[in-house]
Amino acid sequence: MFAYVHSASTGGTDRGDAFFRLVAGSGTGELTAIRGGGSLTIDEDGTHRVVFDDELDGPVARSSGSG
C-alpha cells in the first residue's frame, strides 16, 4: 500500500494532463522504498489505464489488472 497525490486539468467534459506522484515514505510492506509517479488515461469506453513510472529498492511481486 502507498499514498499518492493526483492532478488533472479539465475543460468541461474533457480531461487532460492527469498524473500522480507517490508520497515519499508512504509505502508499506514490500513497497516501503517505492518512489516515483505515473499517469492516468480514460478511454472513450470508460476503461481506465494507469501507467506507473516508479522505482523500488529491492525485488517486489507485481500484478496487473484493469479498472
pLDDT, one tens digit per residue, over 33-53 is 888 889 888 888 989 888 888
pTM above 0.75, yes or no: no
Cβ atoms of 19 and 6 within 8 Å: the answer is yes
> Taking the C-alpha atoms of 9, 10, 15 and 19 in order, what is their torsion angle to the nearest 10 degrees?
20
Give the strands of the sheet with 14-22, arranged side by side.
4-11, 14-22, 35-42, 48-55
pLDDT tier, 67 (very low <50, low <70, confident <90, very high otherwise): very low
- DSSP H helix total and E strand total for the chain: 0, 4
Per-residue pLDDT at 62 exceeds 80:
no
How many residues are there in the chain? 67
